[in-house]
Amino acid sequence: MALILNFINSQKQFADFLKMEEKKKGVVYSLLNNLFKNSPKVSIDKKDKIVIFSDLHMGDGGKNDDFKQSADLFKTSLKKYYLKKKYKLVLNGDVEELQRFDWDKIVKRWQEIYDIFDEFQQAGNFYKIIGNHDIGLHAEGFPDQKYPILDALTLKYKDNNIFLFHGHQASKKYSEHNALVGYSLRYLANPLGIKNFTVSHNSRKQYKIEKNAYQFASQNKIVSVIGHTHRPLFESLSKFERIRARVEQLCREYSSMDNETGKPLKKLIRLYKKELEKIHENNSSEELKKGQIYNSLINIPCLFNSGCVIGKRGMTCLEISNGEINLVHWFDKNTSKKYLNHNGYEPDQLEKSNYYRMIINKEKLNYIFTRINLLT
């Protein structure tokens, strides 16, 4: 009898857990739906050029300022590449690290960065979206901003929607407890010299947020572009999945070649294989399994993530131009020289600097939306 009662109780607890999870999903979906409906709509076409950066986490220039290591790379890429080529600049949240530093100290230290933002703004090519680390910009009594602060932005390409939001809104927990995270960063992490311990260091939270954003985009037949997790995503795939798909494609090509003509391809496949092995060593099999297609029957290419500006080996961003979307990696050859010798990519030097721009993935928007509309 006791065994039966224990079984019934466990079943009831499991059912209650499922109900609670469904309720959370409902709250998140409602929040994202309102965010999408109320976001400004900007029409774009093949002539438009847009670059999307997120997660700068600009601080006061001191030892706890995560932005400092990438500041010159970011500044130079904006000034010498994106401004020159007349791109629209979208900053998708966590631009200022207001949970750790005071506004006036941030602005004073990085005035040269704000001067570049001003140049984009004066040309009508600047959009600044709020994140959880700079949400204080919305606070009552906060100093007036030069730029409109958006909660989200929707780019309309033909009859399709590209929905940009920072990403923390896809987590009920983050939306409710952001103030506590800020307190911990300012009064515990800063004095101890601890780097930003955000969701970017927690694979379980990354997956949950990505899954919610993925499901919302899939259900609405749109593309969602987020930041927040600091993990670049292209067509809903992580780096591991993208490389694995590339290896399969190269193996097909190699099978139709003779030994001599296939030598460069063989070398490239081996390089990619080593990269896959390295990623696998640094991640548990469960994490890799989770990240694949968010429990979907078939992968829908509806979720993209621009990554972050404060990466260890450079910064990533998303570019939209000529009817295509690119995932781009910027790096300094002095810290990431290996990319110059990697045959899988083709880095382009930025003028005569030590900085390089490298396209990691690219795809036509028409093809992406065709797949979304047919597969959802």
Distance CA 146, CA 128 (A): 11
3-class DSSP state for residue 256?
coil
Pick the closest to residue 219 from 3, 16, 28 (CA basis). Answer: 28
8 Å CB contact between 229 and 305: yes
Tell me which residue of 65, 96, 101 sits closest to 186, measured CA to CA.
Answer: 101
pLDDT in 10s for each residue of the chain, 376 residues: 555 555 455 545 444 443 444 445 678 999 999 999 999 999 999 999 999 999 999 999 999 999 999 999 999 999 999 999 999 999 999 999 999 999 999 999 999 999 999 999 999 999 999 999 999 998 888 888 889 999 999 999 999 999 999 999 998 765 554 444 444 444 444 454 555 545 555 567 778 899 999 999 999 999 999 999 999 999 988 777 777 777 877 888 888 888 888 888 888 788 878 877 877 777 655 445 544 556 567 889 999 999 999 998 899 999 999 999 999 999 999 887 766 665 567 899 999 999 999 999 999 999 999 999 999 8
The SS3 call for residue 230 is coil
β 160-164/153-157 pair status: antiparallel
Domain range annotation of the chain: 2-238+291-375
Do 360 and 345 contact (CB within 8 A), yes or no?
yes
Could you give phi then psi for residue 149, rounded to 5 degrees? -100, 120
Q: Report d(CA 364, CA 372) in Å as an integer.
A: 13
Architecture of domain 2-238+291-375: 4-Layer Sandwich (3.60)
Q: CB burial class (10 A; 0-12, 13-18, 19+) of residue 43? A: exposed
CA distance 292 to 164: 22
- The model's pTM: 0.81
User: Residues 344, 271: contact at Cβ < 8 Å?
Assistant: yes
How many residues are present in the chain? 376
Where is 119: in which H helix or E strand? Answer: helix 111-122
Q: Please tell me the distance from the alpha carbon of residue 236 to that of residue 225, in angstroms, as a whole number.
A: 10
